[in-house]
Amino acid sequence: MANETVPVSIPDNLAAKAREKGWPLDLVQQALAAGAQPAQIIQYMDQGVTADQARQFLAAQAGGGKELSEEIRAKAEASAWPIELVQAAVNMGAAEGDLMRFMEMGVTAEQARQFMAQGGQAQLDLSWMNVPTEWNTRARPTKHGLTLDAINIGKYGEVPDVWEHQTEMPRGAFPIPGVEGMGYSIYQKQEVWSDACAPLYEESIQRRWRPATDVPWTTIEPLDDDLERGACQVMTYLSEKAQLEADVLGRWEPEISYGYHEVKLYLATVIFEGARAVEVFRKRALSNGGGLGIQSPGWSHRSVIDARNFSEMATVQMVLQDSLTLAEYQFGEMYAHNAAEKFIFTRAMQDKARHLAYGVSHLKYVLLRRDDRREEMQRYLDKGETALLMDDRKDHATRPAWAIYFGGGTANIGEGLRVYNQMRRRFIEQYLARLKWATLDRGERLLPGLRAFIDSE
């Protein structure tokens, strides 16, 4: 390749692309003179190679190649790669880091020579190797291992307030034009974000459990028929609720754009944990001579499914509804009739507390950034609480079933109802405490039907 400018004609489409991408025409001429094909140059431009990068590349070619570092010289000697071969590869555009990696992988000099003889990048298009993403990223494992937070470094850790891409391009990758949109609808960070997402995801993965083999199923012994019926109705209800949460989140998952992958990953674990809860409560119902009970009226289900935006869903499902579910798991653990049920409720409690941690911290994130959404969130909770109270009125099975479970049978159902009211009181107290942490004062807005549980004692 010569240093002097050779007059080479530039095809019209290439000239137009060069103007669009800010490549001077003399640079394009230089590239053509060096043997590059017009289509290849257009491809480089579309991949985001800048004029400066191209100029540097051509200058390196013209000067007989970059000087090799001491590191690659030593590595080449150790790997029995002749230095001329390494220099030739670098002149063809290979990065030193890649070549050293090939050496470490055991690629022999002969293999490299054959690859280059085939034309190297001339036949295999390796232009993607010049992608201008952030390179030399070296995430290090922490005490928790190589976590999502640990790899969120440099540009890869920058989470934009608004995500501009409609495709599945990973955050930090380089976009290419022409890719079809994936139909996401959520592009704003405040609509889905919580700083707790990444650690909650890791916690969920680390604290996973397996119903089939971890639960001490053999500790379950026959219960009196009325108690078994109560237990099975409770399990039916809890299994149904868990399925709803998994279904609802499954619908929202594809709405969230890829810029917020920490949220998508965490919600994937919530969906999985919903599935696990469906599984484990169903298994308990079908493991001790009983069966499933009747379904729920489903008023609360609709309040979640009908949510029109993500924060509405998250607030109603993962703050209001999950506060109730966590209280149910707490009392389920306390009144468990065997070690298997104790185990199930303890582990389900851990999962549910994580769901709440996301819901509450997301709500706080929204409210601290969008004060104008406070009343909106209050209204979602108005609706959610109303539906919950409607379930209380229409559901003739769940309350007595819990009372039988707590009381140990129908003979002691009065005591069971007292415990049931305690459970609801605890739910409301913890629900209000969590909202307060999220900076939402629900004290005056709490619906009277729910307030009755905390005013009664």
Partner 1 sequence: MPTFPSVEWFNAIKDLVNSDPAFRQLGTVDSVVGVKVGNKVYELTFEAFECTNVREATENALRDMDFWLEQPYDKWQEMLQNIKRNGAADLQHTLNTIDLNMPDGFARSHDGYRRDAFYRFNQSIQDFFNASAKIDTQFAEPAAVA
Q: Nearer Cβ to partner 1, position 57 or 365?
A: 365
Figure out which of the listed residues 49, 360, 413, 446 binds partner 1, where binding follows CB under 8 A: 360
CB 284 within 8 A of CB 388: no
Q: Nearer Cβ to partner 1, position 73 or 369?
A: 369
Assess 334 for contact with partner 1 (CB under 8 A).
yes
Assess 210 for contact with partner 1 (CB under 8 A).
no
Assess 194 for contact with partner 1 (CB under 8 A).
no
Question: Could you identify the residue written with the tokens 């009196």?
Answer: 224
CB 425 within 8 A of CB 456: yes
Q: Nearer Cβ to partner 1, position 239 or 330?
A: 330
Question: What's the rounded Cα separation, in Å, for the pair 251 and 387?
Answer: 21
CB 405 within 8 A of CB 231: yes
- Residue 148: both structure tokens together: 């999502």
Assess 90 for contact with partner 1 (CB under 8 A).
no
Q: Nearer Cβ to partner 1, position 293 or 407?
A: 407
CB of 203 to partner 1, least distance (A): 6
- Residue 35: both structure tokens together: 């043997």
Assess 354 for contact with partner 1 (CB under 8 A).
yes
- Residue 74: both structure tokens together: 């030593």
CB 366 within 8 A of CB 298: no
CB 239 within 8 A of CB 295: no
Query: How many residues form the binding site for partner 1 (CB under 8 A)?
Result: 37
CB of 206 to partner 1, least distance (A): 4
If you count them, how many residues does the chain have? 457
Assess 315 for contact with partner 1 (CB under 8 A).
no
Alpha helix (H) residue ranges in 92-154: 96-104, 109-117, 148-151
Region of 43-51, 298-306, 433-441, 445-453 interacting with partner 1 (CB under 8 A): 433-441
Q: Nearer Cβ to partner 1, position 216 or 449?
A: 216
- As beta bridge partners, residue 186 has 256
Q: Nearer Cβ to partner 1, position 85 or 339?
A: 339
CB 397 within 8 A of CB 233: yes
Distance of CA 46 to CAs 21, 60, 124, 354, Å?
Answer: 8, 22, 18, 44
Find all residues with CB under 8 Å of 193, minimum gap 6, and list them: 159, 260, 263, 362, 365
Q: Nearer Cβ to partner 1, position 236 or 361?
A: 361
DSSP three-state, residue 130: helix
CB of 434 to partner 1, least distance (A): 5
Assess 328 for contact with partner 1 (CB under 8 A).
no
Region of 238-246, 334-342, 385-393, 404-412 interacting with partner 1 (CB under 8 A): 334-342
Region of 203-211, 245-253, 385-393, 405-413 interacting with partner 1 (CB under 8 A): 203-211
Assess 361 for contact with partner 1 (CB under 8 A).
yes
DSSP three-state, residue 161: coil
* Per-residue burial over 156-167, b = 16 or more CB atoms within 10 Å of its CB, e = otherwise: beebeeebebbb
Assess 202 for contact with partner 1 (CB under 8 A).
yes
Assess 11 for contact with partner 1 (CB under 8 A).
no
Assess 326 for contact with partner 1 (CB under 8 A).
yes
- The neighbour count for residue 288, using CB atoms within 10 Å, is 20
Assess 276 for contact with partner 1 (CB under 8 A).
no
Q: Nearer Cβ to partner 1, position 95 or 433?
A: 433
Figure out which of the listed residues 139, 336, 417, 454 binds partner 1, where binding follows CB under 8 A: 336
Q: Nearer Cβ to partner 1, position 94 or 326?
A: 326
The three-state (H, E, C) secondary structure of 358-393, written as one string: HHHHHHHHHHHHCHHHHHHHHHHHHHHHHHHHHHHH
Region of 95-103, 239-247, 261-269, 352-360 interacting with partner 1 (CB under 8 A): 352-360
Assess 330 for contact with partner 1 (CB under 8 A).
yes
- The neighbour count for residue 151, using CB atoms within 10 Å, is 15
The site for partner 1 (CB under 8 A) is made up of 142-144, 199, 202-203, 206-208, 326, 330-331, 333-334, 336, 339, 342, 346-347, 349-350, 352-354, 356-357, 360-361, 422, 426, 430, 433-438
